[in-house]
Structure 1
Amino acid sequence: MLTSFAVSSAAIFVAELGDKSQLMAMTFATRYRTWQVLLGITVATTVVHAASVGLGLGVGHLVPIEWIGLLAGLAFLGFAAWTLRGDSLTEEEKAKAARGAGSAVLAVSAAFFLAELGDKTMLATVTLATRHEWVGTWIGSTVGMVLADALAIAVGLLLGRHLPERVIRYGAAALFVLFGAWMIGTSLPTLL
């Protein structure tokens, strides 16, 4: 379980770097208290990543174990390309983040829940769950995402809008390539 936790925390932390969710977190942090934003992110992430782990378990039982590592490595290379492409908030997403309706925690939770459906962090969690123990993957992926968004809030509050987005995006993509290459490298010998 500890290995699953560590791998998932690190992978999802990297996946979240430069993601639109970090932009949303910074935007919400300008309107609400930091603890409310982090609690909302935690609630949404816990639910989305529970579903992701469930999907990963299903895929893990359908695909032969020898192929899962190779497919996961290829998926991580795809996440690297996705990260290089970058993310930005649409005007609609900016408007949702800027207005507050009802409870701050509820508003943040709902926005993050919807933003994370089909996002690379959700897909990365599905991928990780095919190879690792589910509880560690679920908790680790949730912790990794909350930590990455907490970092974004802290950096955003300190540096305002002058974040070195390109450096973060390229660094995250490089780490995805390393994770992907490692997964492919460890899987290929079992397939040959």
Structure 2
Amino acid sequence: MEALFTSALSVAIAEIGDKTQLLALLLAARFKNKTAIISGILLSTLANHLLAAWFGHWAITWLTPELARYLIAFSFFAIALWILVPDKADDEDNRFYRYGPFLATFVLFFLAEMGDKTQVATVVLAAKYQSLAWVIAGTTLGILLANVPVVIAGSMGAGKLPVTLIHRICAVLFFLLGVATLVWA
């Protein structure tokens, strides 16, 4: 359960102000079918994070426990710093809109998550917890917690969140995960 809770919380906070959250806002403004958008986010995240968690789980088997601990801690520290760099949405993705809300969302979210902070976090969390199902469930839940309200509310209140403060809090959370990995692993 620790893997589920930590994965969900850290990814939900990291997702605030992330480019995929901006993408969710753009898709909600473009399409009326919110169920299709949310379904696309869910399935795309499951597929993307399944691959990321599998990679993290596989990669950790090739390292000694001591080296793995330091690498995981370093990765948490790197994610903490990376989160402080603001994201912006890519405008070139308009060509996918013609496929409708579900397929456009699925493809765009999958591509946007490639190499994204939350995907890297999924790799690291899977390596740390060795529990693919709980990590995937948690990271997917985190993505949904951050993006579903954006899809439902659309642009209402999107500019009112203290994104810089939220990013700083998330950076501290990942930093603390790194420290905890070094101290208690």
- Tell me whether the two structures share a fold, i.e. TM-score over 0.5: yes
Q: What percent of counterpart residues are identical?
A: 30
In 2, Cα distance between the equivalents of 1:4 and 1:161?
31
Q: 2:111 aligned with 1:114, yes or no? A: yes
- What SS does structure 2 have at the residue aligned with 1:86? coil
Letter in 2 for 1:58: W
In 2, Cα distance between the equivalents of 1:184 and 1:26?
38
Contact 2:29 2:154 in 1 (8 A): no
- What SS does structure 2 have at the residue aligned with 1:158? coil
In 2, Cα distance between the equivalents of 1:19 and 1:143?
16
Contact 1:69 1:186 in 2 (8 A): no
In 2, Cα distance between the equivalents of 1:69 and 1:152?
36
After the TM superposition, list the runs of 4 or more consecutive aligned residues in structure 1 that deviate by more than 4 angstroms. Answer: none
In 2, Cα distance between the equivalents of 1:66 and 1:159?
46
Contact 1:12 1:144 in 2 (8 A): yes
1:180 matched residue in structure 2: 178
> TM-score scaled by structure 1?
0.85
Deviates more, 1:120-129 or 1:172-181: 172-181
| TM-fit CA distance, 1:36 | 1.9
Contact 2:37 2:151 in 1 (8 A): no
Unaligned runs of 5+ in 2: none
| TM-fit CA distance, 1:147 | 1.2
- What SS does structure 2 have at the residue aligned with 1:101? helix
- What SS does structure 2 have at the residue aligned with 1:112? helix
Deviates more, 1:105-114 or 1:74-83: 74-83
In 2, Cα distance between the equivalents of 1:169 and 1:57?
27
1:73 matched residue in structure 2: 73
In 2, Cα distance between the equivalents of 1:106 and 1:183?
39
Q: For 1:2-151, list aligned pairs within 5 A.
A: 2-32=1-31, 33-93=33-93, 95=94, 100-132=97-129, 133-151=131-149
In 1, Cα distance between the equivalents of 2:59 and 2:158?
41
> TM-score scaled by structure 2?
0.88
Letter in 2 for 1:57: H
Q: Deviations over 1:79-117 (max 9, x none)?
A: 111111111123324x45xx7212311110000011111
Equivalent pairs, count: 183
| TM-fit CA distance, 1:30 | 1.2
In 2, Cα distance between the equivalents of 1:179 and 1:46?
23
- The alignment yields a C-alpha RMSD, in angstroms, of 2.0
Unaligned runs of 5+ in 1: 188-192
| TM-fit CA distance, 1:152 | 3.7
| TM-fit CA distance, 1:50 | 0.7
In 2, Cα distance between the equivalents of 1:163 and 1:107?
26
Q: Deviations over 1:56-100 (max 9, x none)?
A: 11111111223323222211111111111111123324x45xx72
Contact 1:21 1:115 in 2 (8 A): yes
- What SS does structure 1 have at the residue aligned with 2:87? coil
| TM-fit CA distance, 1:154 | 5.2
Deviates more, 1:145-154 or 1:84-93: 145-154
Letter in 2 for 1:42: L
In 2, Cα distance between the equivalents of 1:38 and 1:179?
29
